[in-house]
Each structure stands twice: as structure tokens, then as C-alpha cells.
């Protein structure tokens, strides 16, 4: 299992099967929206909102053009064998040359007053086990 954690919430979890689970953790904020959007991009999945930067209703656009209404706990099923590599794609994107910049930008957003629970920002983590690392 590969997870992307923002504050203390695993906002994106990728199962070995390639299924992706997304959640805002109940925080439908601009910074949560941006972190979800940046984390889903390497998977070819887009998060969009009706308004600017997370305002209004959120939806998920899949690579095949399908659009799903965003809800906490939404499971985006793997569409084929290639989707089993989603966890690797996510980790590679974060560890690659641009990954450090994306993680730093998200951590900066977290530190800029996104809430009292600003600890580590946006990093890959062991889901629900409190393990944080790159």
C-alpha cells in the first residue's frame, strides 16, 4: 500500500491492485484540494472544482474521460493491468527531480497557516501506521 499524507490524513491510498482511494479527511480546503490534485496527477487522474482552487463541488476525471463526483472514501478502481503500477508511479513522481519541489511546495502550503496541525506537510507514508518517509 502506498499513501500520500497531508497533515495527519492519508489523502491518497493506492492498493497493490491499483485501486486508488481518496479523501479530504473532512477538510475541503484549498490546500487539501491542491495536495490531492498534485498527488493524483502522476496517476493520470485529475481533480477539478466548479470554482477557483477547490471552491464549489469537486469531481475526479479519469484518463478515459469518465467523471466521478468527489466524496471522501471514493475508490477509483483499476481499469486494467497497467493500473497496478499506480503506486510505483506515485512514489517515482515524488522521488524524481520534480518530486522534491512538489513536496516542498505542499509543505510550504501546510506551514503557511493551513491549520494548527501543521507537522510534516505532504509526504509519502505508511498508511495509518504513523510512518513518514520518502
* pLDDT tens-digit readout, 57-95: 999 999 999 999 999 999 999 988 888 888 888 878 777
Alpha-carbon torsion, ordered 74, 53, 91, 127, to 10 deg: -50
Using one digit for the tens of pLDDT, what is the confidence trace for 113-128?
444 343 334 444 456 5
Decide if 84 contacts 43 (C-beta within 8 A).
Answer: no
Instruction: Tell whether pTM > 0.95.
Output: no
What integer pLDDT is reported at residue 106 of this predicted model? 54
Amino acid at each position: 500500500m502506498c499513501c500520500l499524507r497531508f497533515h495527519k490524513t492519508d489523502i491518497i491510498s493506492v492498493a497493490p491492485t491499483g485501486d486508488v482511494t481518496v479523501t479530504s479527511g473532512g477538510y475541503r480546503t484549498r490546500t487539501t484540494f491542491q495536495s490531492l490534485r498534485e498527488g493524483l496527477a502522476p496517476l493520470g487522474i485529475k481533480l477539478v472544482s466548479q470554482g477557483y482552487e477547490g471552491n464549489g463541488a469537486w469531481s475526479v476525471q479519469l484518463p478515459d474521460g469518465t467523471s466521478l463526483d468527489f466524496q471522501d472514501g471514493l475508490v477509483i478502481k483499476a481499469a486494467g493491468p497497467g493500473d497496478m503500477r499506480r503506486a510505483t508511479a506515485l512514489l517515482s513522481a515524488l522521488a524524481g527531480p520534480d518530486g522534491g519541489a512538489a513536496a516542498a511546495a505542499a509543505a510550504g502550503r501546510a506551514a503557511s497557516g493551513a491549520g494548527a496541525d501543521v507537522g510534516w506537510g505532504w509526504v509519502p507514508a505508511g498508511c495509518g501506521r504513523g510512518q513518514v518517509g520518502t
